[in-house]
Structure 1
Amino acid sequence: MVQYSGLRFWKDVAARDRTIDRLLALRAGLTQQIIASNKQTSVLLATWNIRDFGGHRLNPGPRLDESLLYIAEIISAFDLVAIQEVNEDMTEFQKVMRLLGPHWDYIVTDQSGNMERLAFVFDRRKILFRHVAGEIVLPEKKGSPVPQFNRTPFLVAFQAGWFKFNICTVHIYYGSATDTAKRKREISDIAEFFAARQKKDGETYILLGDFNILNPEDPTMGALLGGGFEVPAALRKPTALASANFYDQIALRTQNKLVEIKNAGNFPWQNYVFRDDAVDYAAYKPFMPTKTKTEKPIKTDIGAYRKWRTWQMSDHLPLWTEIKVDFTEAYLESLRTGAEPLADFSRKSVSAPSAD
């Protein structure tokens, strides 16, 4: 549960009441669309590019306190969230972690391309860190160096219930909308890297994050699927706020036939906070900058508001999936019959729950 106690001390009563109204609406939306399906037999994984989180290089001012509450509320609906675009100043990120409360923890990289960090935020009551973490560096080919990633992918080993998995978050190079060659190469490289590893160790790999994929039929998606990763139809959803682009993805590669994706979707936060209506535009217009750093005037019309709110929340929607983590029945049946069901319990990725 997000720590709301600080709201008591807000001197701006109008802002406090607006935030309370929006939090109640946000919680209702999350309950209806996501939390209602969360059971002890499954785990909720999400990926969210939170725009320039702490960077402020292009951001027209820091996030409002209420924005951090909304971000924390959305994260708290899941068990583990991969976050992209955590930038050099981690003040906002740390505030969100305090709002999430003492059961939440995180693992974050140092800065790489574009001064960005990649992070995993997780609820320790549900998710166990298996003490393996590292950035991905591609091996040489025939003794020669190969091009590396603009923003280095980050892999961590976790466990939820019976389910042991390796999860890697990425923020693939964007470039331009018309020249996607480097983008496609990075996607292909990371997919092939884990395909080779998974064939060798038989473990389960989840690849998620901001791939900058344009649509399910684009060659950028083909590069991901070409590595043998599965992207179920339910996950092939637009996640860009202001366009129909399918930038964010969650892909799975496993030999474990017991692993089951039960549900998936994206969460349209803009239906509940920083809404696209005259009421919210009027409420937030006083917070919008009117001049640039060089004193040039800035528009504050409804179009400018729609752009400004992406710096408060994000220009991406969270993408999430629910995965089954309870294999008790299959395991007990295997003990009775003396057979290993589908050979899955011989794999490192599935064994009886333990502290590892």
Structure 2
Amino acid sequence: MPFYPALKISASNSSQQKAKKKRTAQRIKNLKKALIDHFKESSVGDNPSESVRIATWNLREYGGSKYNGRDYECVYFIAEIISHFDLVALQEIRIDTDDYDDFDNLLRILGPSWSFIATDVTDGSAGNKERMVFLYNRKKVFFKNIAGELTLKEGGKIKAHFGERIKLEQGLKLKLPTGSDLSGIYGARLKTLGGQKKLDADLEIPLPNKTLLELPEGTHLTLVKNTVVTSPGRGKANVTIPNTISGDDYRLRFMNNIFDDSLRQFARTPFLISFQAGWLKLNLCTVHIYYGDDGKRKLEQRRSEIEMLTKALANKAKTEFKQDKEAFMGVLGDFNIVGKGHPTMEALESNGFVIPEALKSIPGSNVKKDRAYDQIAFWNPKRNTEYAKLDVMGANVFDFFEHVFKKEDEATYRAENNNGLKDKTSFNDWRTYKMSDHLPMWIELRTDFGKEYLDNVTD
């Protein structure tokens, strides 16, 4: 039950402020009705006390400042949508350790029954200073005091999209063939910082044949174990080294810290939490998978992250959580999946993970509804248990832009001051930073298995 204190109209409010508050209140009423109708159409259950509604929602740069950030109108709309769920996994949340006003405002609107658990920020540029958050209503869901970030073991890490890459900052030099010149104009992604144009993504330039790499002092040639040699005496090896060295018998040993890390953990560390709602026990992992772009190599890193994720979670389900036979393992979040039948989708549906049929029919969870970015999947959902089941009672995505920040509202917002919508700003882009470029995806699961439990006892 959200609270709306900022909507109170006072005598000191300007006519524009009064109009905005009235508009916001009316839009909240519209949202309430739309959400109630939406769940009636999408659910088969008619008793909320016997089910739990779980959602995943990427809230685009929530806490960011682009287009002047989010004001009370936006936060009220977001809170109203969240309040109709019981447990929500949020991605792209910007919460500073000493300043989380934007998120605190959301919590105040939702009310005292709501609580949250957030991840740390993953180091590195791929983490994008984001946190992932589980936000839950304690009247319906309780945290079982088990939480952890999922990391990969040595030997099972994700291959970076760039493969092996050597740094040229410790004495290494490239020598181009005579007459070669790599200077020129290349397609690139740019940003402006301090009045200067800078690359906003790595720019890779193919090197011509016969380019040489001059190695620094301290580099060693290694002959690997089991290379065939001759021996002039005990403890000595006689080796013949050709002028051009290549093949399986040789390696180069460089000084420390010369390679980019090509074997990686997740770009944003997945977050695994244990919850219970009624009789239903859930171990849920929320993720925001590496995006990069749709280039072939970066797509492979994306696919690899998803596959390694399902493998690691399946292993946990089989080992760490095997004693609790009534608990189900689920994963939900922004997987940046391209679409149905794509290798990124196949990676999610591997290692025993299954996307419920009710979610497979959804065209897309982005605003255009043409990409399957967000997903919810469960490990071995049909396995035999003593009484519990993964009983899906409804699933869908909710399109909030049919009710707030509608296209026909563009003129109204352009007439307002200080909302970041400038003359040349795209309204469609602007409104995704006020709400999101993702739609909340949800699933409803049955939580009352009392009859099955009693049947199991008496049979």
TM range (shorter): 0.7 to 0.9
The alignment partner of 2:427 has SS state of helix
Cα 1:123/1:142, change in 2 over 3 Å:
closer
Match of 1:195 among 309, 314, 333: 314
Partner of 1:340: none
Q: Which residue of structure 2 aligns with residue 76 of structure 1?
A: 83
**C-alpha distance 281-93 of structure 1, shift in aligned 2 (>3 A):** same
Which amino acid in 1 is paired with 2:116?
A: Y
Q: Which segment drifts farther, 172-181 or 253-262?
A: 253-262
* Equivalent runs, 1:139-154 vs 2, <5 Å: 139-141=153-155, 147-154=264-271
User: Which of 68, 71, 80 is residue 64 of structure 1 equivalent to?
Assistant: 71
Question: What residue identity is the alignment partner of 1:263?
Answer: G
Shift, 1:6, TM fit: 2.5
- Cα distance change on mapping 1:233 and 1:259 into 2, 3 Å: closer
Q: Look up the equivalent residue of 1:47 and give its one-letter code.
A: T
Note if 1:171 corresponds to 2:297.
no
Q: Which residue of 1 aligns with 2:424?
A: 299
What SS does the corresponding residue of 2:108 show, helix, strand or coil?
Answer: helix
Amino acid at match of 1:62: G
Q: Does 1:101 align with 2:115?
A: no
Q: Evaluate the alpha carbon distance shift between residue 47 and residue 143 of structure 1 in structure 2; reply closer, same or farther with a 3 A threshold.
A: closer
State how far apart, in whole Å, the 1-side matches of 2:310 and 2:9 are: 49
Q: 1:240 aligns with which of 362, 366, 376?
A: 366
Are the counterparts in 2 of residues 239 and 245 from structure 1 also a CA contact under 8 Å?
Answer: yes
On the 8 A contact 1:88/1:111 being kept in 2, the answer is no
Normalising by structure 1, report the TM-score. 0.86
1:207 Cα deviation after fit: 0.1
Give distance in 1, aligned partners of 2:275 and 2:356: 22
Query: Given the alignment of the two structures, is residue 251 of structure 1 paired with residue 373 of structure 2, yes or no?
Result: no
Partner of 1:2: 2
Pick which of 74-83 and 248-257 moved more.
Answer: 248-257
Question: Match for 1:268: what amino acid?
Answer: D
| Structure 1 unaligned spans of 5+ | 292-297, 338-356
* Residue correspondence of structure 1 range 1-356 to structure 2 within 5 A: 1-9=1-9, 11=13, 12-34=17-39, 37=45, 39-56=48-65, 59-89=66-96, 90-112=100-122, 113-141=127-155, 147-179=264-296, 180-200=299-319, 201=322, 202=325, 203-236=327-360, 237=362, 238-253=364-379, 254=381, 255=383, 256=385, 258-277=389-408, 280-285=409-414, 286-287=416-417, 288-289=419-420, 299-300=424-425, 304-337=426-459
- Distance in 1 separating the partners of 2:21 and 2:140: 32
Number of residue-to-residue matches in the alignment: 324
Deviation for aligned residue 1:77: 0.3
- The whole-number CA distance in structure 2 between the counterparts of 1:143 and 1:4 is 47
8 A contact 2:2–2:110 mirrored in 1: yes
8 Å Cα contact 1:157/1:166 also seen in 2? yes
Q: Secondary structure at the residue paired with 2:68?
A: coil
User: Which is helix-richer, 1 or 2?
Assistant: 1
Q: Distance in 2 between matches of 1:60 and 1:290?
A: 7
Counterpart residue identity of residue 21, structure 1: Q
Aligned residue identity for 1:39: P
RMSD: 2.0
Percent identity, please. 40
Distance in 2 separating the partners of 1:18 and 1:193: 48
Q: Is the 8 A contact 1:55 1:88 kept in 2?
A: no
Larger Rg belongs to? 2
Query: For the Cα contact (< 8 Å) 1:34–1:77, is it kept in 2?
Result: no
Supply the distance in 2 between the matched residues of 1:142 and 1:195 (Cα, whole angstroms): 14
Query: Which amino acid in 2 is paired with 1:258?
Result: K
**Helix, strand or coil at the partner of 1:137:** coil
Q: Distance in 1 between matches of 2:333 and 2:145?
A: 21
Mapped partners of 1:245, 1:143: distance in 2: 27
CA shift digits 1:196-227 (9 cap, x unpaired): 12123154111000000111211101001012
